[in-house]
Amino acid sequence: MTRLAADCARCAALCCVAPAFARSSDFAIDKPAGQPCRNLGDDFRCTIHQHLERRGFHGCVVFDCFGAGQRITNETFGGQDWRSTPDIAGDMFAVLPVMRQLHELMWYLTEALELNETRRLHPGLRAALDETDALAGRSPEQLRKMDVDAYRGKVVPLLRRASEMARAGRRGPDHSGARLIGRRMRGADLRGASFRGALLIGADLRDADLRRADFTGADMRGTDLRGANLSGALFLTSSQLRAAVTGDDRL
């Protein structure tokens, strides 16, 4: 099975080169697309990896390619890299956002397959997972031409149905796409709630009951989750948790 977690040791640091950075609370510098970050070493490793947060690179800390980087490096381009083979740089960088979206879909499909409540959907979910994996295995030219947004539109309804089935026993409030920036919801009963695509930036969810809540695509930068019950939360990624406040050291 394709690995759906980043393995930086097997990648040519594509996320440190391909995207553009804008100086902000997430990045300490401006960086044009296709230009290596000034902190990138000759070995394709970050020279300040242990100090990213302190040095103002929170965006790097929370980024997750879902394993797209190493797949592009080792499978799509057969182990070549943009430094030793400059002619492929443009293609490698252009393929990254496409591959990342496909791998993200695969991660969601895999999560949906682990839900007991979605057993009736498992054949369709497995078929979608296999199809997405096959698409991700295409050539660089095919990947560049792919309308990945249209493909997401085909898969998302299946994932939404899986979420509805998983939350059927306790359907909480629907906050899909809602602007909940800074909203105070401490201690709230939000079992089975939908936060799909919601803006939860700086929201206070301390001690909230979030069992079986759906967090697909929610922006959780600074969301305070201390003491919250996240048992069985749906589609909550590790990058979302890194973006949130989960420790006990916040003043």
Banded pLDDT at 2 (limits 50, 70, 90) = confident
Which tens digit of pLDDT belongs to each residue from 3-20?
Answer: 899 999 999 999 999 999
Cα diameter, the chain: 55
Cβ neighbours of residue 208 closer than 8 Å, sequence gap 6 or more: 185, 186, 187, 188, 189, 190, 228, 229
Helix axes 122-136, 148-166, angle to 10 degrees: 150
Q: Give the type of residue at 126.
A: R
Query: What was the pLDDT predicted at 17?
Result: 97
Query: What was the pLDDT predicted at 1?
Result: 57
* Region label for 91, one of left (φ > 0), alpha (ψ between -120 and 50) or beta (otherwise): alpha
Of 8, 139, 17, the residue nearest 66 (C-alpha): 8
Cβ neighbours of residue 12 closer than 8 Å, sequence gap 6 or more: 44, 69, 73, 81, 82, 83, 92
Helix (H, G, I), strand (E, B) or coil at 179: strand
Query: What was the pLDDT predicted at 250?
Result: 38
CA angle 125, 69, 138 (to 5 degrees): 60
Which tens digit of pLDDT belongs to each residue from 113-154?
Answer: 999 999 999 999 999 999 999 999 999 999 999 999 999 999
Which tens digit of pLDDT belongs to each residue from 24-68?
Answer: 999 999 999 999 999 999 999 999 999 999 999 999 999 999 999
Query: What was the pLDDT predicted at 23?
Result: 94
Query: What was the pLDDT predicted at 170?
Result: 85
pLDDT for 212 beyond 80: yes
**Rounded CA gap, 116 and 127, in Å?**
17
Which tens digit of pLDDT belongs to each residue from 157-182?
Answer: 999 999 999 999 888 999 999 999 99
Segments in 114-222 forming alpha helices (H): 122-136, 140-145, 148-166
**Residue pair 30/90 in contact by the 8 Å Cβ criterion:** no
Residue 113 CB neighbour total at 10 angstroms: 16
DSSP states along 201-212:
TT-B-TT-B-TT
